[in-house]
A and B are shown apart, each in its own frame.
Chain A
Amino acid sequence: MTRYTSATDADREQMLAAIGASSVDELFSDIPAGVRLDRPLELPAGMTEQAVYERLAELASRNTGAEDEITFLGAGMYDHYVPAIVDSITQRSEFLTPYTPYQPEISQGTLQAMFEFQTSISELTGLPVASAGLYEGPSSVAAAAYLARGATGRPKFLVSRGLHPHSREALETYSAGYGTSVEDIALAGGATDLAALEAAVDDDTAAVFLQQPNFLGSVEDLAALAPVAKSTGALLVVAVDALTLGVLRPPGDFGADVAVGEGQPLGNRLDYGGPSVGFFAAREEHIRRMPGRIAGETTDVDGRRGFVLTLQTREQHIRREKATSNICTSQQLNALAATIYLSWLGRPGIVELGELMTQRTAYARERLAAIDGVEPLHSRPAVREFAVSLDAPVDGVLRRCAADGINAGYPLGHDYPEWPNGLLIAITERRTRAHIDLLADALERAVAAERAGTTEAVNA
């Protein structure tokens, strides 16, 4: 008997007698002999709880996380502080262990949390309707493309090179399925090139994809880009960093049709990339094409306020091959974490956090730009992330900084060959002025050492 089952030998006997079977094996007699496994699974024997803990703790100890170093790594996921109330509430059995709320009478907690999430996302993005969440950021961008394809019937997507490379790639992966092409719009000065967009957008364009702030941390000039993007009837999709929306004007203000994004910064752990949540907000006219669950307010037979999954005729379990998305299990618990986090941050907090990041980022940019061999990669406005170009091999610099206990950021060369020594640096509220000063000093030493061609051994 495993520790997660309760059937004793006596139970088994009674149950088999009730079934009228002589053995458990007999219950599997419909499986043809040729496809039955005639040996035990080649997996280790079961372990005690404490042995499992020790094994997993040993694996965890071989990772260098944000607990172990001063990290400036961002590029889509960020080391923000997650308040204790998020853990305490999301670990409650009542939120952790139910299924999708198919029986609304006993799922009001989850349904109301979805409704509150939708409200927060709608407020942040400046768009009237939002769904209860998708898997994560890049696949939400791809989901927006599917909506745009359905809404316009057009065959082409235009993608700013400021869009997260993972979003760009997910979009291309999905597009192979429904037969659309993906074309890049170049950057100029670290932001989407308006002239290039103007030249590319045409009657075949289903949607234009921009990111705010873009992958390089630049705040895009949406006021200039949006009308051009929409000039031929294409939809404007903005992948937005929700945590910058305390200070930045929201996509809805610029006429965006859809705003999507990665919800990890909103109270979700880094977790080596997931689970997090994707958010999806849109103009009212797109509500019946939106992917994902949507909670709606209604009343019960006694007139009491309640919430239900609504507009389910979009969904796969009702519409099957005509559904607007195939999504089923999504990321509800992570959406709950985001909802709690946004309530915790509140109206003043999200503004103050945005201002704090903007000021520290400005300080870090100045501090780093003063270093010999470090050049700003662009001079666009920024909130919590910016890019520099090193006059030294970036990998060597990063190794040297790591030896000093500092993760200096994300090297850009893999995704942007034009900046082989580019470095993307994120400044969350957990990175203080003292940390930034340590980064600057470490970077200065590392760049100088790399330029000097020092060959001394560096700990990986």
Chain B
Amino acid sequence: MQRDRAVTIFEKSVSGRRAAVVPEIDVPVKPLEQLIPRDMLRAEGPRLPEVSEPEIVRHYNRISRRNFDLDTGFYPLGSCTMKHNPKVNERVAALPGHARLHPLTPPQRAQGALELMWLLQASLAEICGLPHVSLQPSAGAHGELAGLLLTRAYHEDRGEARHKVLTPDTAHGTNPATVTMAGYEAVKVATDERGGIDVDDLRTKADDDVACLMLTNPNTLGLFDERIVEIAEIVHGTGATLYYDGANLNAVMGISRPGDMGFDIVHVNLHKSFSQPHGGGGPGAGPIAVSERIEPFLPRPQVVKVEGSNGTEPHFELDFDRPKSIGRLRGFQGNFGVFVRSYAYILSLGGDGLREASETAVLNANYLLALMRKGRAGKYLPIAFDRTCKHEFVLSGQRAKRELGVKTLDIAKRLLDHGFHPPTVYFPLLVDEALMVEPTETEAKETLDAFAAAIDDILAEAERDPDVAQNAPYTTPVRRLDEVGATRKPVVRQPL
């Protein structure tokens, strides 16, 4: 990777240089002050960089080489599903009929886009086992917010006011954060000794003030909750909704469906299970699938299919006439470019291929787990809950910390020198020194073998000299950074 001193594009600015050449004004020119009063005009142009095109290209290409990326190496980041991003998806998303389609184009002239959305909705409905889908939410957390606002609207429609939402202590941080944003109080539910929901604790807390239980299944320990049917009964018994965080859907596509498990509302991360590239932190999309009783409250507008009459073709419309809708969560119709990529992915794999993707994801995870059970990994990084995992598993670095003096953070940083992205670390919170590993189906066996060998190397090295891992990494564009200093005196923009 590129190891030069970091220089920003603003520091490369030289007065008089330019990349853009703006078209000449081809209409009769009036003094600007005549068109916009002087006190509304900016006195001096904003200090954007002044650089030529070759300098811009070189700048961003150089800084790109200070990133590790999935196309280059293994990225076993737990709960993030870093699977291969097919290149054909980029090609079809860039077709002008998609890329240059204005979101307010009248539906009759956007039939291809609406049909694509309708087909994606139908595909996700089938995969989730729930009849209705809204594609509008922009990411998983946005889908969660939609889910809780739907829950609120559903209860209010029944004349009920409920104030609490249950989340397991293994939940993604977005779950409790969403609970607060949606105006509810977050109540934690404990985990039992097998890594599932503590059903006794759930029974105690599930009263008629509970609006919803938010659950991930398989959960963030990578374990399928075997008591899911019982859990659903308890939750529904109180009149609450059951919400499925789809971050881990990649384990069960075509094998088990959230709707069949009893979930009322599901969000799907198209940037996880459905191959949308992560882009260094988005874009993604978080469509939601819901049961019949939640459907009236779905966001506006909905894409609907209108069957043809008298031999005419069916067509597609945007339905705004939804009086019980929670309304919009954002502008326009959602992250359509993401829909194109994910629909291309679903077409590529088909129903059987999706199932095979999940099977292989689980096979890969269990194989890597089997490797981790042996040798030094087995000794220093035991699995937190020793069961067959689904698409990911969680190790505890507690013994490595105690016996070798290397923390999970040190192991993660040393992995960088071995050319691997580390697993998710220090999550879920209930596992001490957690390492959460998700290999995904798109990795070859040799890659998993090499990763296991790297872990073994790091632990062997730590047995001899823990100092090495404690000060890692060494080969990266920068080494460990002063995060405390960055927070204490935040410098969040280039001074000019």
Contact = CB atoms under 8 A, between A and B. Distances in A.
B479 A304 contact: yes
B139 interface: yes
Contacts of B82: 99
B306 interface: no
Contact of A94 (B65, B101, B285): B65
Interface string A354-393: 0110111011000000000000000001110000000000
The 5 closest A-B pairs by CB, nearest first: A273-B332, A60-B97, A333-B279, A273-B103, A275-B283
Interface residues of A, number: 209
Contact of A67 (B96, B277, B335, B370): B96
B26 A433 contact: yes
B28 A166 contact: no
A271 B93 CA distance: 8
A269 B100 contact: yes
6 contacts: A64-B109, A85-B57, A89-B60, A116-B9, A137-B331, A166-B331
Contacts of B50: 346-348
Contacts of B160: none
Contacts of B257: 35, 37
A55 to B, nearest CB: 6
Interface stretch (B35-43, B202-210, B234-242, B460-468): B35-43
A18 B370 contact: yes
B108 interface: yes
A213 to B, nearest CB: 10
B56 A343 contact: yes
A152 interface: no
A347 B80 contact: no
B443 A6 contact: yes
Contact of A273 (B94, B181, B223, B331): B331
B283 A43 contact: no
B64 A92 contact: yes
- Give the dominant DSSP class at B's interface: loop
A19 B18 contact: no
Given A95-B64, A304-B5, A110 B281 contact: yes
Nearest to A107: B67
A83 to B, nearest CB: 7
B356 interface: yes
A188 interface: no
A262 B331 contact: yes
B46 to A, nearest CB: 4
Interface stretch (B112-120, B288-296, B375-383, B396-404): B112-120
Contacts of B63: 108-109, 112-113
Interface string B344-377: 1011111111111101101110110111000000
A77 interface: yes
A178 B152 CA distance: 11
Interface stretch (A7-15, A193-201, A203-211, A229-237): A7-15
A91 B257 CA distance: 34
Q: Which of A1, A45, A92, A275 has the most CB of B within 10 A?
A: A275
Contact of A138 (B92, B108, B330): B330
Nearest to B483: A308
Contacts of A51: 347
B455 interface: no
B311 interface: no
A247 B44 CA distance: 9
A336 B18 CA distance: 19
A56 B95 contact: yes
A170 B181 contact: no
Contact of A348 (B26, B45, B101, B416): B45
Interface in A50-109: 51-53, 55-68, 71, 73, 75-77, 79, 83, 85, 87-109
A29 B172 CA distance: 25
A295 B279 CA distance: 16
Contact of A343 (B51, B284, B482, B487): B51
B19 A343 contact: yes
Nearest to B36: A381
A320 B20 contact: no
B221 interface: no
A305 B478 CA distance: 8
A4 B116 contact: no
A187 interface: no
Contact of B8 (A115, A246, A325): A115
B184 to A, nearest CB: 8
